[in-house]
Amino acid sequence: MSDSSVRLFPPTGSTPFRSSIPKRLLRFWRAPFDDNAKPLVSVFVAPAAFNQFTEHSIIDLENEVGGGLVGSRHVDVRTDEQFVLIEGVIPARFTRKGNTFLTFTQDTLVAMNDELEERFSKKQLVGWYHTHPRMGIFLSNYDLWLHDHFFPEPWQVALVIEPHAGLGGFFIRQKEGHLDAQRYFGFYEILAEDCVSRVEWRNLSQADEDSADKGESEDE
Ligand SMILES: [Zn+2]
């Protein structure tokens, strides 16, 4: 068995955790398309992870940068809906860069999975992120190819960040497995202890209290 081919794809078949996240810690950031489509999974982002991919997104404002989103897969105890919790990032190495594309190579994926094993025991790659300097929020044909080949699980997501305008959005497969390259979704921000939001993406709007009830436990 080839070691590298095994490591390219981490164990992804494990059963999701049954969990809930207290509503008081959540802020839902709505994307313009959220009313018209239903993603297969909701996305929850822990404060440390949000800081990490935001900081990485501005280290090079001319070229695309990216990496893996590390976390875990869950089923809400109350609603039975699936969600992924993003808890950290692994900046990609061994990439090929141009100012309009970022290429993950096989070495990128091997290094990412090595780091996953070393630093994030029992976590999974729940998706990937990359920047689109001055290009807007969408998935290119190459991005779609990369997503299908390296992140093929239905619940794996792709985050695109535009660092100049301050935009961001998650591309998430819908129930029938369809992935729309132009339609991104919002997400649930998990607030840090100071209860101050970190999100400054101008294309997302804060949802009403009533709609931020995913992950809520009635007992909270
Ligand atoms: Zn792209």
Residue 12's pLDDT is 56
Q: Please give the distance, rounded to the nearest whole angstrom, from the Cα atom of residue 24 to the centre of ligand 1.
A: 34
Most distant pair of Cα atoms in the chain: their distance: 52
In angstroms, rounded to a whole number, what is the distance separating the alpha carbons of residues 115 and 203?
32
Q: Compute the distance between CA of residue 170 and CA of residue 173 in angstroms, rounded to an integer.
A: 10
Rounded to the nearest angstrom, the distance between the alpha carbon of 104 and the centre of ligand 1 is: 11
pTM here is: 0.87
Q: Are 129 and 15 in contact (CB under 8 A)?
A: no
The predicted structure's pLDDT at residue 57: 95
- Distance (angstroms) between ligand 1 centre and the Cα of 196 equals 30
Expressed in angstroms and rounded, the spacing between residue 159 Cα and the centre of ligand 1 is 9
Number of neighbours of residue 86 by Cβ within 10 angstroms: 27
The fold adopted by the segment(s) 28-211 is Cytidine Deaminase; domain 2 (3.40.140)
* pLDDT one-digit tens code per residue, 96-149: 776 567 888 889 999 999 999 999 988 999 999 999 999 999 999 999 999 999
Q: Which backbone phi and psi does 3 adopt, to 5 degrees? A: -60, -45
Ligand 1 centroid to Cα of residue 131, in Å, is: 7
Q: How far is the CA of 30 from the centre of ligand 1 (A)?
A: 21
Decide if pLDDT at 209 tops 70. Answer: no
Q: What is the tens place of the pLDDT at every residue in 2-49?
A: 343 334 444 555 688 888 877 778 999 999 987 778 899 999 999 999
Q: Minimum mean pLDDT among 83-87, 138-142, 212-216: which range?
A: 212-216
Q: How many residues does the chain have?
A: 220
Reported as a pLDDT band with limits 50, 70 and 90, residue 163 is very high
State residue 65's pLDDT score: 92
Pairing of strands 82-91, 66-76: antiparallel
Going from N- to C-terminal start, the domains of the chain cover: 28-211
CA–centroid distance, 140 to ligand 1, in Å, is 5
CA of 11 to the centre of ligand 1 (A): 26
The Å distance, Cα 151 to ligand 1 centre, comes to: 14
How far is the centre of ligand 1, averaged over its atoms, from the C-alpha of 37 (Å)? 22
Confidence of residue 179 (pLDDT cuts 50, 70, 90): very high
Ligand 1 centroid from CA 204, angstroms? 19
Q: What percent of the chain has pLDDT over 70?
A: 86
Task: For residue 137, report the distance from its CA to the centre of ligand 1, in Å.
Answer: 8
CA distance 34 to 32: 6
DSSP strand E in 99-201: where?
A: 101-103, 124-131, 157-162, 167-171, 187-190
**Mean pLDDT of all residues belonging to the chain:** 86
CA of 183 to the centre of ligand 1 (A): 14
CA 215 to ligand 1 centroid distance, Å: 30
Whether residue 198 contacts residue 29, with contact meaning beta carbons closer than 8 Å, is answered with no
